[in-house]
Amino acid sequence: EDLVCFRDIRPGAPHHYLVVPVEHMGNCKTLKREHIPIVKRMMEVGKAVLQRNNFSDLNDIRMGFHWPPFCTISHLHLHVLAPASQLGFLSRLVYRINSYWFIT
């Protein structure tokens, strides 16, 4: 009810989804302690969508947010990518774990 999920228009992996809250939230920099439950639900939805799309190795996924100013839209969205082991060279850079521009 409070989240939507859809495929990324420029996928970085065979499975690349965005989980987005229906209610407007700025970006990951605006998150506060009270947002922890919705972020956890976003991750749960991402995992459930992967499983519904026949991807079961939840140890081979990458989830995270682009850190401003590296996000292209100003509405919170969680990237869900799988399998992480199949990310191409550019995707490994763009979705690099806990980099200056992508936080997990």
- What domains can you pick out in the chain, each with its CATH number? 3-103 (3.30.428.10)
Longest dimension (CA), the chain: 36
Amino acid in the structure at residue 57: D
What are the contacts of 59-63 at 24+ separation with CB within 8 A?
60/84, 60/85, 62/13, 62/87, 62/95, 62/97, 62/104, 63/104
What's the CA angle centered on 25, arms 21 and 30, to 5 degrees?
130
pLDDT tens sequence for the chain (104 residues): 899 999 999 999 999 999 999 999 988 999 999 999 999 999 999 999 999 999 999 999 999 999 988 888 889 999 999 999 999 999 999 999 989 999 99
- Can you give the pLDDT at residue 74? 86
Catalytic residue ranges: 77
